[in-house]
Amino acid sequence: MYSKPKKIGTIEIKNRFVRSATFEGMASEDGYVTDKHLELYKNLAKGGVGLIITGYSYVQESGKAFDKQLAVNTDDCVPGLCKIAEIVHENGKDCKVALQIAHCGRQSRILENTIAPSALEEKLTKKLPREMTKEEIRDTIDAFAQAIRRAKEAGFDAVQLHGAHGYLITQFLSPYINKRTDDYGGSLENRTRFLEEIYNKSVKMVGKEFPIFIKMNGVDFVEGGTTISESTEVAKRLERFGYAAIEVSAGIWEVALLKKKDLGWKSSFLPESRIFIGTMNEPAYNLTYAKEFKKVLKIPVILIGGINSLNLVENVLSSESADFVSFSRPLIREPDLPNRWLRGFGSDKVECIFCNGCLSTTVNLGLQCAKLHESHAGI
């Protein structure tokens, strides 16, 4: 199953392996593409993955999460982004690449003055965001649409919106965060309006043939947040709007403040990157949610999180629990992992030990991982 092609919207992905979006920390101070980006995506493309999703790029300065984050907020970004699309297409036979775009809202780690759908304190940073005006919401919708236009102009095959992990799109979707009483808050229809208007405005610029898909939470892991029953209802609405696929993740960053025992799983970092899969944490830890999405959707479902063996991949796909599997940490350790599996070489298991050491630095990822892997060899 994992070697069979499958479409996302109008584009055919040559196999079922997706490189999940990962913040690179490699951009210039202005958010432009650097040679480090090109080396990273060249190696990933050569490794045999069917689809590469880039690390998130910000659509507005007000949506920037970290320093050295990739930008897609002006037309000046397009020439550099072209180089990423080109190097992927030149080095990966039939490999596709999607630009992930995002606005961090209240979860910025570098901005003092943040914005969000509602003025509720972000407990991890202790920052109180300012509630967005309707004009600012319209401006941000336009910023997403313009970013999608730029991605198409730069030669990307698709775009993924980052709607998970507590960023701005999550903030609109989650009843835990969104306390608005206007057209963008309250009912499910209102809380999905932001995504509906992004899609409709984008299609006017890029047409319906250019795939726009999304990463979103199955659950938020906070009391009063999005539940799996509500997230599947959101997903059905997104499918009707025209979104081409859904990658299923979970959690918002405030979860890092909660006690491990309260969540029923162990992690030293964030819910989207749990550690020591198969020992401390179960493999495919978002599988339960992906299965629920598959029950209600016709568009492809992408499973992310804790993919640690080819046998697991085959079981997920053959049981039709998801259409694609998405991973990144194993590809930091082994960029050529898909080729190894597709050609039947080596172990069924990934070499990655899910220690999260790669998260301590996002520059020179392979070297850093190799050093940490050696030092943790006995774990």
- Catalytic (active-site) positions: 167
238, 214 Cβ separation under 8 angstroms: yes
DSSP state of 3: T
119-130 burial, b at 16+ Cβ within 10 Å, e below that, comes to ebebebbebebe
Instruction: Report DSSP state, residue 55.
Output: P
Residue 146 phi, psi dihedral angles, 5° rounding: -65, -40
How many whole angstroms separate alpha carbon 73 and alpha carbon 313? 36
CA dihedral for 242, 246, 251, 253, sign (positive or negative): negative
Helix axes 134-153, 78-91, angle to 10 degrees: 40
Of 158, 155, 240, 152, the C-alpha closest to 195 is 240
Distance between CA atoms of residues 246 and 10, nearest Å: 15
Query: Which residue is it, tokens 């990739």?
Result: 70
- CA separation for the pair 335, 42 (Å, rounded): 10
Beta partners for residue 100, in sequence order: 160
Residue with tokens 């319906």: 208
Burial class (CB in 10 A: 0-12, 13-18, 19+), 282: middle
Tokens representing residue 298 in the block? 């016709």
How far, CA to CA in Å, does 257 sit from each of 48, 170, 263, 281, 375? 38, 18, 11, 18, 28
In contact, 156 and 33? CB cutoff 8 Å: no
Quote the CA–CA distance of 215 and 97 in Å, as a whole number.
15
